[in-house]
Amino acid sequence: MTDFNPAGFRQHFPALSQGQCYLDSAATALKPQAVIDATVNFYSQEGATVHRSQHRAAQTLTEQYEQARLQMAQWINAPRNENIVWTRGTTESINLVAQSWLRPRLLPGDEIIVSQAEHHANLIPWLMVAQQCQAHVVTLPVDQLGIPDISTLPRLLSSKTRLLALTQMSNVTGAMPDIARAVELAHANGTPVLIDGAQGVVHCAPDVKQLDIDFYAFSGHKLYGPTGIGVLYGKTELLESMSPWQGGGKMLTQASMTDFTPQAVPHRFEAGTPNIAGVIGMSAALKWLKTVDMQAAEKHAQHLAALAEEQLAQIEGFRSFRVQHSSVLAFDIAGEHHSDLVALLAEQAIALRAGQHCAQPLMNALGISGTLRASFAPYNNEQDVTRLVVAVKYALDLLAD
């Protein structure tokens, strides 16, 4: 670990040399050169697949692939490598739990508690499985700031509750609910917990063992890794109790025309040729991240969001939805539609996102139709803040004409 040097950190990201002001890291993070190099190297030098062929390159690559699983297990303090399932991302990880773990256990009338602050990826899979089994999704409400109100959990939990699904960090407000308390309350009721770590893992890698989290889902692309690779962490006994979700090559130990025997975990959940380049790139991202003081990096990103909030607050009608010192700054400006503003900002090479951020129930709870969202990462700098503020003022001038 080294001290955090914002200018030095920024230099690792070739995409920033294109001149755009990138404030969309909550959607996806830019990639450091180390990840790009590992991916290019894989495609240019390593002609092989994993867990299949016998030639030397294939064997070496299989070792790298499994070594990356160990790296990932260590990143979140999973007890064993086998607790890590490679998936396409958070969305696939959550759907895997919904279909393979929950669905066979869900009876008519059963309940799944889901917070109102969830990204659709941590809502729709539960609605789907609830519809399939005549079960119900029960809302864990948010407070006035949009933070999941964990104090309501004791009255929501009951003998009918089969799962609690909760975000580690909202992609809109940046709220980080007290997941330790939520897990404690749910477990006292005998209810397993799935935490959506898509945003949270970037800002604070959890200790899944210490927090006693049952399932933890996240995507590589927000953690500086490639797109199309993600992780499902599951406790050993839970993963072992799950049947495969997708069938295909290498998820089985024997097959006949009438039957098959699934592999041990995690391989029974990795049917077909996996995203090897994604795993290699993810491994490079984790290796590179080890050289970064993540806490200091996070503080830098939070400082920039605070600065932007402070400067934009001088604009009449500005309203911020940012909570808990987050690096995510969702905001709106009274009388202006976010879609108009984002289009004018895009013309000035300011990359941010506007809309409902795949969190319509949260928008409803906050009583809004959408927001602009500037999400800061450690590779941003104060110049980016200035560019954003100047661009917003310019866009407002244009709209006023």
Shortest distance in whole angstroms from residue 226 CB to ligand PMP = 11
Q: Give the interface segment with ligand PMP, choosing from 34-42, 76-84, 117-125, 334-342 (CB under 6 A).
A: 117-125
Verify whether residue 358 is a known catalytic residue: yes
Shortest distance in whole angstroms from residue 221 CB to ligand PMP = 6
Q: Give the interface segment with ligand PMP, choosing from 52-60, 86-94, 204-212, 342-350 (CB under 6 A).
A: 86-94
Q: Tokens 């059963």 correspond to what residue?
A: 110
Give the number of C-alpha atoms closer than 13 A to the C-alpha of residue 165, restricted to the C-beta side: 30
Looking at the Cβ atoms of 29 and 284, the one nearer to ligand PMP is 29
Q: Concatenated DSSP letters for 57-100?
A: HHHHHHHHHHHHHHHHHHHTT-SSGGGEEEESSHHHHHHHIIII
Q: Are 25 and 317 a contacting pair, CB within 8 Å?
A: no
87 is a site residue for ligand PMP (CB under 6 A): no
Shortest distance in whole angstroms from residue 363 CB to ligand PMP = 14
Q: Are 231 and 85 a contacting pair, CB within 8 Å?
A: yes
- Applying CB under 6 A, which of residues 122, 275, 327, 375 lies at the interface with ligand PMP? 122
**Neighbour tally for 401: CB within 10 Å:** 4
- Applying CB under 6 A, which of residues 64, 199, 327, 381 lies at the interface with ligand PMP? 199
What whole-number distance in Å separates Cα of residue 21 and Cα of residue 392? 13
Q: Tokens 């955090």 correspond to what residue?
A: 4
- Applying CB under 6 A, which of residues 13, 50, 65, 89 lies at the interface with ligand PMP? 89
Contacts of 185 (CB under 8 A, 6+ apart): 150, 153, 154, 157
Q: What is the largest CA-CA distance in the chain?
A: 73
90 is a site residue for ligand PMP (CB under 6 A): yes
Which helix or strand (DSSP H or E) is residue 313 part of? Answer: none
> Residue 278's closest CA among 222, 200, 217, 220?
220
Looking at the Cβ atoms of 89 and 192, the one nearer to ligand PMP is 89
196 is a site residue for ligand PMP (CB under 6 A): yes
Tell me, by CB under 6 A, how many residues bind ligand PMP: 13
What whole-number distance in Å separates Cα of residue 145 and Cα of residue 167? 15
Helix segments in 189-337, DSSP class H: 200-203, 208-211, 236-240, 276-289, 294-312
Shortest distance in whole angstroms from residue 92 CB to ligand PMP = 7
Shortest distance in whole angstroms from residue 394 CB to ligand PMP = 28
Q: Are 253 and 261 a contacting pair, CB within 8 Å?
A: yes
Looking at the Cβ atoms of 90 and 100, the one nearer to ligand PMP is 90
Looking at the Cβ atoms of 97 and 395, the one nearer to ligand PMP is 97
380 is a site residue for ligand PMP (CB under 6 A): no
91 is a site residue for ligand PMP (CB under 6 A): yes
Residues 208-267 that bind ligand PMP (CB under 6 A): 219
Looking at the Cβ atoms of 116 and 122, the one nearer to ligand PMP is 122
What whole-number distance in Å separates Cα of residue 271 and Cα of residue 316? 54
What whole-number distance in Å separates Cα of residue 149 and Cα of residue 163? 17
Looking at the Cβ atoms of 193 and 396, the one nearer to ligand PMP is 193
171 is a site residue for ligand PMP (CB under 6 A): yes
Residues 347-366 that bind ligand PMP (CB under 6 A): 358
95 is a site residue for ligand PMP (CB under 6 A): no
Looking at the Cβ atoms of 61 and 359, the one nearer to ligand PMP is 359
Residue numbers of the site for ligand PMP (CB under 6 A)?
89-91, 119, 121-122, 167, 171, 196, 198-199, 219, 358
Q: Which residues are catalytic?
A: 358
